[in-house]
Structure 1
Amino acid sequence: MWLPDRASSKPVYRQIAEHFERRIKSGELTAGSPLPAERKLAAELAVNRTTVIQAYEELRASGWVVSKVGSGTVVAGGDASPLRTADWRKYLDVGTMLPNSDAMRRIRSGLRREAGLVDFASGELSEDLFPGETVRSIFSEQPYDGPLGYDDPQGYGPFREALAAFLLRQLRIGTSASSLLITSGSQQSLFLIMQCLLSQGDAVGVETPSYCFSLPLLQSAGLRVYPLQVGPAGIDPEDVVRLHRRHRLKMLFLNPNFQNPTGTVLSAERRAALLRIAEKEGIPIVEDDPFSLTAFDGRPPLPLKAEDAGGRILYVGSLSKVAASGLRVGWLAGPQEIVSRLADARQQMDFGMSVIPQWLAAKLIEGEAFDRQIGRLRAGLALRLDELRASLDYHLSGSVSFEPPGGGLNLWVKWLGDNDPRQLRMLERAMSVGVAYVPGQVFGAEEPSLRLCYAKPEAGQIERGVIRLKEALLRS
């Protein structure tokens, strides 16, 4: 991030003005691009707001920017600008890929720029839960000496072999290396499925609330999305029957184990009924399973894929929630012809992912050290959840209700207070006092609710975050 040089003889306001002038001249900021609000920029640069006002006035006087009511300060365009800047703004609202929601963009912007936030929003592990020591020992003891060219777009062969053994050992999923596609995380698997196996206008069933609703992928693909309400025992299979009779569902997108965001596990009875319905009606299931291995009691609930007798389930997983999100290693298990189709599309996109993280992932999951890592992760997550529960009970008693999950990274909190945490202004208020969360409507929830990830805050931060949450959400 750029900061003014305090040791320079040039006034700070002038440095700020020249900084934005360079960005406009280089084409980084084009006609109509907004400049940061004065108060926000002052906070980011740790300067007085008056200094930012002076800088913007200088830019206006030089014709680089203009002020618009309701829009703030924006880059000048057309005859008003000393430079004929390209008008990229007209391209922003077209294309097939929809932008993220306002809430998600605000959260990500805040987490990047605002220091000191207690992060209940990011669905990832804190640094102390990563297997850092194991990774360092792998690199030091077994340095990579393999090829550095393009690899098989289906994935690095030794990793697929190791992964097939790992899935069988840990989750009783019987698959082979030839039925696995390695992807750069679960979202790429979902993207490939939607782009290659579904057509615009197809009807799909999706849990609600659901992580899928936080991604614009379904809408970008032009699919007709029908909600399946998640209850304490997961979705009701009879809802699948009703939706299929009415809309002829082409596919189901489910997260049966420690569901994101609710933390529920699909009951054994409903699991069996769902599999019977899927077989009878011929409905494929995409099973997203990031959390099964995090079961606090050490007994992961079996994925649906472990009971898949007819190859009807596409199983999506990754190392993001049990090792490190930065590895960007995920996978899809399914029928070989489907895997081949998706691998072909993957090859068109990027010629396959880098072999080095796949090599590292293979070494990681082969060793006993990773089994110990999973045990340590479960214990660490359980302790963090206990701290979050105790803090909510103490500081927000009467304002929240929740059902503690048996695994996963998230606590789904129903809000009983007057202020609705789903409103963007409430999220803004929370971030202004130093805490971030994800509002329930991002996941398609219709009731006042929020998701709190207890895996990202480090020790000692959780209660501080709850206190800040109380300050933001109970303030009238």
Structure 2
Amino acid sequence: MDWKPDRKAKKAVYRQIADYIERGIALGEFLPDSMLPSERRLAEDLGVNRSTVVAAYEELAAAGVVTRKKGSGTQVSSDIWGMSHKRIPNWGRYIEYGSFLPNLPLVQKIRNETQEHDMINLSSGELSPGLFPSIEFRSILAEMPIKAPLGYDHPQGNLELRKTITTHIKETKQIDTEPYSILITSGAQQALHLVIQCLLKPGDAVAIEDPSYCYSLPIFQSAGLKTFLLPVDDNGMNPEDIRSLHKKHRIKMVFTNPTYQNPTGTVMSLTRRKQLLELSSELGLPIIEDDPYSLTSFDWTFIPTLKSMDVNGTVLYISSLSKIVASGLRIGWIIGPKRVIERLADAKQQVDFGHSIFPQWIAHHFLQSSQFQQHITMLQLELKKRRDVIVTSLRDTLGNRVSYDSPEGGIHLWCWINEEVVSPTHLLEESFKRGLAFLPGSVMGTQKNYVRFTFGRGETSEIEKGIARFADALNSLLDS
């Protein structure tokens, strides 16, 4: 083949190849039903990567000019110009060029691997089915009269549920608010998404904790935001780091999970909480407080939320029932100034036209009942038991090869490996082979030699078995 793509041209190389072949077909150089060169051979002839040829062939297939069959190769269509010629969308290009970014490949792989029947899942940030209040829910569903209409509800969510949440957070978290300042969301993740989409614009700078759950979310990149990291130590993130970032980058918003932080399990000190609120008021800087775990304290210690200490209205407060009741209920909420809540509610209505009434009814009745506090007490005791099991298992199987701080609440344990391994991905692959899934620390921040175990996700026997499998995988790499 004498022709070669022009690497200096503005047109992409794969597009040049596709145009060249399509022109050759039109001129009769490539006949109907004839086979085109294999991807590998054409790549060698043109001096390009094989993936470039694959992209060109897929472009031609989308145009209906060629057909591609796995194992057979790429063939010029038999009736290019006839009535039977049809064009199909190039879905590959649409997927590649969409503005909403996919999850990290490693996160996708973990999700797929955990579908295996014999896989012990200590990666997913949720409670195990044994900790769900299933019996209580069945009782509520059996006795609950359907009084409300089954049409669209209020854009901010069912009013009765918002009134119940107002009472609930006053009693459990000392947060004073009104129903008009609450928006019901599909868990905390939708709340974060609405905040990012509605209150920020591309190019804005935001600060997130390192490590943190937010680090793994592509929604910041999809929205075109610049993220800057706040290191987390034993007392949480340091507000003075925010001041430094704000001077350099004009930070527009700070995202924090100050109580039993995911993944470290740390609690921001009261001193730093006060400093953060003072700094927020001084700079006019909004604080997004994500609080999924504060009711899980293993010794029933009350830790004041930032929102309960907020006298200047600088905190948007996000919480949910996902980590303390059931993730599948999909009930979360945002608390903030009335104007902000109305803006977010308007956006949510554009996306899903409001939340389903059925989970809102269940949440309303469950939060109102005495069963809720009984459930929380049970949950605290069970999570503490599972925390003790995972700590004991790590100590007995790995000794000083790993280190960790024993959390006093939440559902996660942050574990660092004291010796170098080949790579977190390699360690995860070895664990997959043995039937265990965990979350590598690199997914949640810049610290590479860490792993996160979700002890709330596993039953006690599964935790012991899972840590034994992890120890086997780690020892095999360290001893080889």
**1:225 matched residue in structure 2:** 227
Distance 1:272 1:294 in 2: 22
The 10-residue stretch of structure 1 (413-422 or 210-219) with the greater mean CA deviation from structure 2: 413-422
Q: What is the correspondence of 1:62-461 to structure 2 with a 5 Å cutoff? A: 65-67=69-71, 79=76, 86-112=89-115, 114-420=116-422, 422=424, 424-461=425-462
Q: Quote how far apart the aligned CAs of 1:128 are.
A: 1.1
Q: CA deviation at 1:86?
A: 4.4
**Counterparts of 1:123 and 1:438 in 2: how far apart (Å)?**
10
- Contact 1:186/1:318, CA 8 A, preserved across alignment: yes
Unaligned runs of 5+ in 1: 1-62, 68-74
Q: Distance in 1 between matches of 2:404 and 2:423?
A: 15
How far does residue 384 in structure 1 lie from its aligned partner after superposition? 0.3
Distance 1:93 1:387, change over 3 A: same
Counting matched residue pairs gives 405
**Runs of 4+ in structure 1 displaced over 2 angstroms?**
63-67, 75-87, 143-146
| CA displacement at 1:421 relative to structure 2 | 5.4
Asked if the contact 1:314/1:332 (under 8 Å) is kept, the reply is yes
Q: What's the secondary structure of 1:332's corresponding residue? A: strand
Match of 1:192, SS?
A: helix
Contact kept in structure 2, 1:263 and 1:408, CA below 8 Å: yes
Runs (5+) with no aligned partner, structure 2: 1-66, 80-85
SS in structure 2 of the partner of residue 230 of structure 1: strand
Write the distance in 1 (CA, Å) between the matches of 2:423 and 2:321.
31
On the 8 A contact 1:289/1:317 being kept in 2, the answer is: yes
* Offset, 1:64: 6.6
Letter in 2 for 1:66: K
Residues in 1 aligned to 2:165 and 2:191: alpha-carbon distance in whole angstroms: 16
- The separation in 1 between residues aligned to 2:380 and 2:345, in whole angstroms, is 33
Q: Please, what TM-score do these two structures have when normalized by structure 1?
A: 0.82
Residue deviations 1:141-198 (CA, integer Å, cap 9, x gap):
2243421111111000000000000000000011110000000010111101111000
SS of the counterpart of 1:147? coil
Shift of 1:431: 1.0
SS in 1 for 2:394: helix
Paired residue for 2:466?
A: 465
- Name 1:20's counterpart in structure 2: none
Q: Deviations over 1:19-48 (max 9, x none)?
A: xxxxxxxxxxxxxxxxxxxxxxxxxxxxxx
Cα drift, residue 213 of structure 1:
0.8
User: In the TM superposition, what is the alpha-carbon distance from 1:299 to its structure 2 partner?
Assistant: 2.2
Question: Could you tell me whether the CA contact under 8 Å between 2:114 and 2:120 is conserved in 1?
Answer: no
AA aligned opposite 2:273: R
CA contact (8 A) 1:131 1:323 kept: yes
The 2-side partners of 1:131 and 1:242 are apart by 45
Question: Given the superposition, is the C-alpha separation of residues 163 and 78 from structure 1 closer, same or farther in structure 2, using an over 3 Å criterion?
Answer: farther
Q: Deviations 1:115-156 (Å, cap 9, x if unpaired)?
A: 111111011011111111111111112243421111111000
SS in 1 for 2:408: coil
Residue of structure 1 equivalent to 2:59? none
* SS of residue in 2 equivalent to 1:252: strand
Distance 2:197 2:365 in 1: 32
* Distance in 2, Cα, partners of 1:346 & 1:132: 29
